[in-house]
């Protein structure tokens, strides 16, 4: 369909972002109108908001106690919006490597360091050309809970750490709402270098970089892995499916439980989906034996 007039850049960008929302939800042909939430939905969203807000004020999130300080508000990590390309592309996804032998807990930090050294000043794919910093990972080598996103954004590229922009702040609060601290988790991405313009990684880039991620996963061997967004789900599970068909259940993955949910950047742009994300995180909490913040069943 041709538009009767050219759109200005801002409108076009807004339209593109809206379409990416649709892809995130796994929908391709529909129109949108205001939707009234049911009482249950409204209560679920309120509960999520309250827990995230409460968690954000917890001392565990304060600087100076070994915790990670809240990063300043900055650019939204929007590169996860590659769902559109990830779902559209028909190019292949490389098969998962075989699961490596388990590494004793006390040797995991050294094993991760060895993977980082293997990676070196990596130029294995074209993404190295535009990066400032390789964003390897952040968190505990013995984490029970791991998060995997799509790739670094501008803040991550500048700081060399995953999830440090506004989306990272929300992820921190979501982790705290689960009763955990960020430093108890392990956080990484499908690709370790920022794609130009925060575009979705091309299959060749994701397939080139992800073997290092699989090695990290096998070393940390978390009990639960949460895939944040469609690109992470695609390359971890090895199949392209709309996010809507992957959420809300536990996937068996390399001897652990994998749960798929929305990318935090998506939740920043469409807060109505927070109740769905909270439902996914509650599945993760159940798998971890966490009943509510700070307690176990
Ligand atoms: S994205 Fe991964 S494979 Fe590509 S250059 Fe960066 S570290 Fe290497």
User: Is 260 contained in some domain?
Assistant: yes
Are 156 and 76 a contacting pair, CB within 8 Å? no
How many domains does the chain fold into?
A: 1
Q: How far is the CA of 69 from the centre of ligand 1 (A)?
A: 28
User: Is 295 contained in some domain?
Assistant: no
Per-residue pLDDT of the chain (297 residues; tens, 9 = 90+): 444 456 677 666 666 665 654 454 444 444 444 445 566 656 665 665 566 555 444 332 222 222 222 222 222 223 333 333 333 444 577 888 899 999 999 999 999 999 999 999 999 999 999 999 999 999 999 999 999 999 999 999 999 999 999 999 999 999 999 999 999 999 999 999 999 998 999 999 999 999 999 999 999 999 999 999 999 999 999 988 889 899 999 999 999 999 999 999 999 999 999 999 999 999 999 999 997 654 444
Residues 6+ apart with CB under 8 A from 205: 125, 126, 127, 191, 195
Mutate to test the pocket of ligand 1, among 94, 134, 213 (most ligand atoms within 8 A of CB): 134
Q: Whose CA is nearest to atom 2 of ligand 1?
A: 209
User: Is 229 contained in some domain?
Assistant: yes
User: Is 293 contained in some domain?
Assistant: no
User: Is 2 contained in some domain?
Assistant: no
In CATH, what number is assigned to the domain containing residue 175? Answer: 3.40.470.10
d(CA 112, CA 218): 10
Ligand 1 closest atom vs CA 119: 7
Cβ atoms < 10 Å from Cβ of 297: 9
The pair of three-digit structure tokens given for residue 152, joined into one six-digit string: 């670094």
Q: Whose CA is nearest to atom 4 of ligand 1?
A: 125
The pair of three-digit structure tokens given for residue 89, joined into one six-digit string: 């592309």
Q: Whose CA is nearest to atom 3 of ligand 1?
A: 209
User: Is 296 contained in some domain?
Assistant: no
Burial category of 229 from C-beta neighbours within 10 Å (exposed 0-12, middle 13-18, buried 19 and up): buried
User: Is 115 contained in some domain?
Assistant: yes
Q: What is the separation of C-alpha 220 from the centre of its chain, rounded to a whole number of angstroms?
A: 17
Mutate to test the pocket of ligand 1, among 150, 192, 216, 231 (most ligand atoms within 8 A of CB): 192
User: Is 294 contained in some domain?
Assistant: no
Q: How far is the CA of 271 from the centre of ligand 1 (A)?
A: 32
Residue range(s) defining the domain that contains residue 243: 9-288
Nearest to 146 by CA among 232, 51, 230, 211: 232
- Any atom of ligand 1 within 6 Å of the Cβ of 122: yes
Are 153 and 75 a contacting pair, CB within 8 Å? yes
Q: How far is the CA of 48 from the centre of ligand 1 (A)?
A: 35
Burial category of 3 from C-beta neighbours within 10 Å (exposed 0-12, middle 13-18, buried 19 and up): exposed
């Amino acid at each position: 369909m041709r538009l009767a007039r050219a759109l200005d850049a801002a409108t076009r960008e807004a339209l593109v972002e809206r379409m990416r929302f649709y892809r995130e939800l796994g929908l391709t042909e529909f129109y949108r109108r205001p939707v009234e939430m049911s009482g249950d939905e409204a209560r679920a969203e309120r509960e999520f908001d309250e827990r995230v807000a409460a968690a954000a004020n917890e001392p565990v999130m304060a600087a100076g106690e070994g915790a990670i300080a809240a990063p300043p508000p900055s650019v939204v990590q929007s590169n996860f919006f590659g769902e559109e390309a990830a779902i559209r592309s028909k190019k292949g996804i490389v098969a998962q490597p075989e699961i490596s032998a388990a590494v004793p807990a006390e040797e995991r930090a050294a094993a991760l360091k060895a993977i980082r050294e293997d990676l070196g000043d990596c130029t294995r794919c074209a993404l190295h050309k535009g990066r400032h910093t390789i964003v390897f990972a952040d968190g505990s080598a013995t984490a029970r809970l791991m998060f995997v996103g799509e790739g670094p954004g501008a803040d991550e590229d500048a700081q060399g750490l995953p999830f440090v922009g506004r989306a990272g702040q929300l992820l921190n609060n979501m982790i705290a709402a689960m009763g955990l601290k960020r430093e108890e988790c392990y956080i990484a991405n499908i690709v370790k270098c920022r794609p130009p313009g925060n575009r979705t990684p091309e299959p060749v880039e994701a397939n080139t970089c992800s073997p290092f991620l699989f090695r990290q996963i096998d070393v940390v061997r978390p009990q639960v892995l949460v895939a944040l967004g469609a690109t992470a789900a695609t390359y971890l599970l090895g199949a392209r499916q709309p996010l809507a068909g992957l959420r809300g259940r536990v996937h068996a993955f390399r001897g652990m439980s994998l749960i798929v949910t929305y990318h935090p950047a998506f939740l920043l742009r469409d807060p109505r989906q927070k109740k769905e994300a909270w439902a996914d995180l509650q599945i993760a909490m159940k798998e971890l034996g966490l009943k509510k913040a700070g307690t176990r069943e």
